[in-house]
Structure 1
Amino acid sequence: MAQLGFFLGALGGLLSVAFGAFGAHALRDRLDAYSLGVFETAVQYQFYHSLALLIAGLLLIQFPASMLLKSSVVLFVLGILVFSGSLYILSLSGVRWWGAVTPLGGLAFIAAWACMATAGWQLLGS
């Protein structure tokens, strides 16, 4: 799971930079200000949580049995897919109901951070 978290974090960072550049250059003149802002939010959250995945992967090297860290990896990946994915679809398609899916990804992010915080309290505080 450590290797997977690290790999997916690095891949997510790579894609964040690529999507950010795509948005800044290819979409700037094709999307309205609202849709471009939504796209940029998706990139920003994907990047932040890709870094969190890298951290979780590194922590799992030190604490491979931590179910909380493993859970945080799964929840960060789920959050990126659902939160950022729904915003990418919303911004590119204009189909507004995708915005109703986004908070589910936000809940996954919150749960992932809660797992990481609890793991930190348990593993690093002892």
Structure 2
Amino acid sequence: MSARLILQLAAFLGALGVGIGAFGAHGLRPMLEAAGRFDTFETAVRYQFYHTLALAAVGVLLAARPELRGLGLTAGLWLGGMVLFCGSLFALCFTGYTKLGAVAPIGGLLFIAGWISLLVAARQL
């Protein structure tokens, strides 16, 4: 994955995170609280932002040091984590389908694998 693509994805996911977070905090809060899902929603938004910021940092690092090819793997793992972890929590909040919560740990493992991938890539510095 190229530095340009990583940074573009980070920019998109950051904008999406702001939009989803604001919509949830203002427009959907009563519905989320009534369903007992506001904390779940906040967790999904928070993890999306953490990993979006980290993704942007990886994009900048890869632009500066293109030989660190392992950073593309890091980005891919974090993207997969966002889709599975954050996506399943968002879907759970909006649908109430509790079996979607079983997907979140897989996304969490992808997040962890991404951080380990970053550790391995950083050893090349």
- Aligned with 1:97 (options 84, 96, 99): 99
TM-score, normalization by structure 1: 0.92
User: What is the percentage of aligned positions where both structures have the same residue?
Assistant: 46
User: Tell me, which stretches of 5 or more residues in structure 1 are unaligned?
Assistant: none
1:47-62 matched pairs, under 5 angstroms? 47-62=49-64
Give the structure 1 partner of residue 3 of structure 2: 2
The answer to whether 1:121 aligns with 2:87 is: no
What's the secondary structure of 1:30's corresponding residue? helix
Give the structure 2 partner of residue 79 of structure 1: 81
The CA distance in 2 between the partners of 1:66 and 1:37, in whole Å, is: 37
Give 1:93 deviation, angstroms.
0.5
- Aligned with 1:37 (options 36, 39, 57): 39
What's the secondary structure of 2:29's corresponding residue? coil
The answer to whether 1:18 aligns with 2:26 is: no
Q: Deviations over 1:43-83 (max 9, x none)?
A: 00001100011011111112213231010011111111111
TM-score, normalization by structure 2: 0.93
**Counterpart code for 1:36:** F
The CA distance in 1 between the partners of 2:25 and 2:35, in whole Å, is: 12
Q: How many residues align?
A: 123
CA RMSD across the alignment: 1.1
The CA distance in 2 between the partners of 1:75 and 1:25, in whole Å, is: 31
The CA distance in 2 between the partners of 1:102 and 1:114, in whole Å, is: 19
